[in-house]
Chain A
């Protein structure tokens, strides 16, 4: 820039700022610092560029440029292009989403999904308008969604929702939790007996009869859909959301139990947690599918999906318990001692003092457990439930499309990647928000 022939004289301190040399600014600086800062780095960069040059074009060609997006069957795809045959996925997209859920009833799935999205927004976005009243909606969502998906008597649902709402209000007002729990359980049992017909006490022959038959009110009835027809991404979401919703509270209870001073409670929790963590999930799923009926009174059967949901939830809650225990151990003893000194009983001191701090510390690990649970939901294919992977494998048996394994697996992989990556990013955001200490 500065040329010696056109050199100009400036008063001291009046020289205008010159731009930095070309090599030390903009893209050149970035390249020098990030790719070519030392001989090793130069070699590494060149290797990486060579690797990308070798791999990227092939991958892009296969997935996009040489891929067939429309076509009748496999041969039509192959005739058109040498790459992936996405037409297959396109044709089966509805199957991948809803499984075998009846065509006419799919609006219910969509509605439940919309409610899920709304609940997620309310839960995850702190500055959401009307957050407090909407939290009630979130609390009732699992029950409403179960009703929508399975169908049944709407009056029963309304009664159940009302009971739960009353219980929640009581809890929210901050009654002594033990009494609220007793009242809630009694209320639930009574409501069940009065409105829902009788039930059999588990593990005994005692039968309790109902008083009112509500099946006569059929204006609010939704057609029942067998859970055998559930499948696809819908099934993944059902397993994931149920597991996430129930494993955290159970995990917290287990963690508290493990820290307890009462030896029997403590060792029961330890044995449960270590047993569940020591065996693979698919053995538990096998137990649920093949031999659970042995442990129930003769003649009792219950739905395979519910058995699987219970097993997945128990599995995740054992891991959750360990995560929460880590958080509990990180809270200084002085905190619970201070709560004792203030005269707080066990549950209030846990609820108001210890758990808020412990959970805050363990948020990233909790989200990781959620992600693990969500990914583990694919294992249900080994006992014959049709999650996206199961649907994909079943579709591959179709002679029209057989052999397109890579397309199917890649498609399902991308679905899981998007949802899990989103969860991971959210946890990272929370971590950064909560990490208020010094950073280097």
Chain B
């Protein structure tokens, strides 16, 4: 080839060569091809769908959402009966999903941080116990956890008549946990007011303390003052007003307890299983985050004379959080998505209501699945956005 350079150049200037061996032209060609392929793929999918739906005489509309759902949902935080519409059923499902996600995230975070710290303990026994827990829980599918805990709650807890009794107010049975529910008397609004005042005060105090520290270096006991104003102030008001709450205590009537609040076995099983499972992952993330802080940082802070708790609070944890938060947010996302497994044990979340029973009753697979996916995508976006915001706040500020 090197013998005939002229022929080579001639070949290079052919039309194909001009288009293909020029970087910009080639990228345009490739993109046009990709766009055409995508268009063809989605276009034929949409056309097929239209064609198939027409053949079935189904059409595509969301009108079915206004029809009565005619099925019962045992856990509903908003008004719902079997005469309510599919839309209301969907809202109940969304609220149930949110409830399990929020409750799960809180419990999983608390457990995960505790386990992660225990895993770093110098105590061999504690370290190994945490290790066994984490490894066993992590390596077993979450669906299995849900079914196992549900099985234990339903099959191994006693019937209402032989309920496990805590101080005659809380009862543990295979139909759920029955607890007294509060009924607020008119005076209770002062307690709420005290709480709001406490939160506002704590916020201002925190700001003031930060300013003072930046100006003069004096440190105020922010944590204790905030704790007192947020929890102590409402508690004192509550006691001073003579405890303006009446408790509705569940009572055994017939075969089951009546009154009070109930945590249903499905919720309990799903909540515990998701939290235990996610906690094992969070524990590893926390451990990795704390280990990622260079030991020199601790030594330097000790050399500066900071006591152990301040070393932890001011030096180690802020740096560890930077490593912890991004994977932590993806664990939160996973927990929220895993909550869709509720369908396996009959907890009525959004997948089980609109994506389950409503779908089967109306036969509108396409619309229902689109709604369900859109809802989960929204949840995912909200969680990522808020975690990204938090991450930005704690991220390292570089030059």
Contact = CB atoms under 8 A, between A and B. Distances in A.
Interface of A: 34-35, 37, 41, 44-45, 48-49, 51-52, 202-204, 261-265, 268, 275, 277-283, 286-287, 290-291, 293-298, 371, 375-376, 378-379, 381-382, 389, 393, 403, 405-406, 409-410, 412-413, 416-417, 420-421, 424, 440
Given A48-B129, A268-B38, A405-B155, A279 B337 contact: yes
Nearest to A300: B48
Interface stretch (B141-149, B181-189, B212-220): B141-149
Contact of B31 (A262, A375, A413): A262
A422 B136 CA distance: 12
Contacts of A49: 125
A322 B249 CA distance: 51
Given A291-B365, A298-B51, A262 B377 contact: no
B223 interface: no
B48 A405 contact: no
B30 A262 contact: yes
Contacts of A410: 148
Contacts of B166: none
- Closest A-B pairs by Cβ, 4 of them: A203-B44, A34-B124, A405-B151, A420-B139
A181 to B, nearest CB: 14
B123 A44 contact: yes
Contact of B27 (A261, A268, A294): A261
B168 interface: no
B124 A268 contact: no
Interface stretch (B229-237, B301-309, B338-346): B338-346
Q: How large is the interface on B (under 10, 10 to 19, 20 to 34, 35 or more residues)?
A: 35 or more
A416 B40 CA distance: 42
13 contacts: A45-B123, A48-B123, A278-B381, A279-B377, A280-B340, A282-B340, A283-B372, A296-B48, A371-B139, A405-B147, A406-B148, A409-B151, A424-B135
A268 B34 contact: yes
A297 B34 contact: no
Contacts of A203: 40-41, 44-45, 48
B34 A413 contact: no
B349 to A, nearest CB: 10
Contact of B48 (A262, A297, A412): A297
Nearest to A264: B31
A416 B140 contact: yes
B250 interface: no
A339 to B, nearest CB: 15
Given A204-B44, A265-B34, A295-B48, A417 B123 contact: no
A294 B365 CA distance: 10
Given A262-B30, A265-B30, A298-B55, A389 B144 contact: yes
Given A280-B337, A291-B365, A413-B148, A378 B31 contact: no
Nearest to B150: A405
A210 to B, nearest CB: 24
Given A35-B123, A283-B372, A378 B143 contact: yes
Given A263-B31, A389-B141, 18 more contacts: A35-B123, A203-B41, A262-B27, A262-B34, A264-B34, A268-B34, A280-B351, A283-B373, A283-B376, A287-B369, A293-B52, A294-B365, A295-B45, A298-B52, A375-B141, A379-B143, A382-B343, A406-B156
B355 interface: yes
B391 interface: no
B380 interface: yes
A279 to B, nearest CB: 5
A275 B377 contact: yes
B49 interface: yes
Contacts of B17: none
Contact of B344 (A51, A381, A417): A381
Contacts of B340: 280, 282-283
A294 B148 contact: no
Contact of A412 (B35, B51, B123, B144): B144
Contacts of A295: 45, 48-49, 52
Interface string B173-208: 000000000000000000000000000000000000
A389 B49 contact: no
